[in-house]
Amino acid sequence: MNTTPSTCRVALYCRVSTGEQARDGASLDLQERKCREYAALHDLEAVEVIRDEGCSAGSLQRPGMDHLRGLVQAGEVGGVVIWRLDRLSRSVVDYGALIGELESAGVALMSVSDKLDTGSASGRLIVNIMLSVSQWEREATAERTSDALAEIRAQGFHVGRLPAGYERVKHDGKGCLLAPGDGYAVVERVHELRRDGLSMLAIAGAMQREGHPTPSGGERWYSETVRRALSAPLLASLVPVSGGGYAYR
């Protein structure tokens, strides 16, 4: 990509979610003003202001973003000015894909607050470094969380969604103990039918005919309902804990 020319047609993109607008004052008007000031300072022609109001950064599927990408693909603008990088996306994957689209079209991205301009080699380098660091942080956090949950499970305690037919019993440590709830007898019956060789669909039909409620108290049985019941442990595979409740062996 060539260095951003001294005079360039740019689109100003502004986004805010309702929560952000109330919390930190990052209003659309503020963003537009900052972007216009940047454009004027750098002799850029702001040909269009695009706003996404009340739109999450979790996805690129937003009306304003769709319009912006259309302008880029049509070659209508040579640059995009934003107030801050997180106005585009908070997803590393989406952000990387969008940067790729801009680079392929020869469109520079300029971030006012971050003082970045991908129209220069150094600007593209900084953005790539930021993307890599963000990706590393996300993966490192996921690994730490996974390791912590694995350690809790290794100690016999339950974390996450409760198995069908069980209730949560608090204890002093992380995770929880299990206790059979009102739906546990149903779980036992499902396991019994499975041992008899019935398929998921056949078990669902049998449970429906016998009039059993689902472990969550529903009336209708499906293959997925049976699958969740079968994924729940039987009491025989657990160990009782002093003071009440059961833990994994």
8-137 adopts what CATH topology? Rossmann fold (3.40.50)
Look at residue 116 and give its three-state secondary structure.
strand
Q: Is residue 214 within 8 Å of 221, Cβ to Cβ?
A: yes
pLDDT of 88 reads 84
Helix count (H) and strand count (E) of the chain? 8, 9
How far is C-alpha 87 from the chain's CA centre?
16
Residue range(s) occupied by CATH 3.40.50.1390 in the chain? 8-137
pLDDT of 20 reads 52
User: Average pLDDT of each block of 10 consecutive residues along the chain (249 residues)?
Assistant: 59 82 69 95 94 84 93 94 86 81 91 83 77 77 90 93 94 92 94 96 96 92 95 95 91
Catalytic (active-site) positions:
17
Q: Which pTM value belongs to this model?
A: 0.54
pLDDT of 23 reads 55
pLDDT of 3 reads 43
12 φ, ψ to 5°? -100, 125
pLDDT of 114 reads 81
pLDDT of 187 reads 96
pLDDT of 5 reads 44
C-beta atoms surrounding 132 within 10 Å: 12
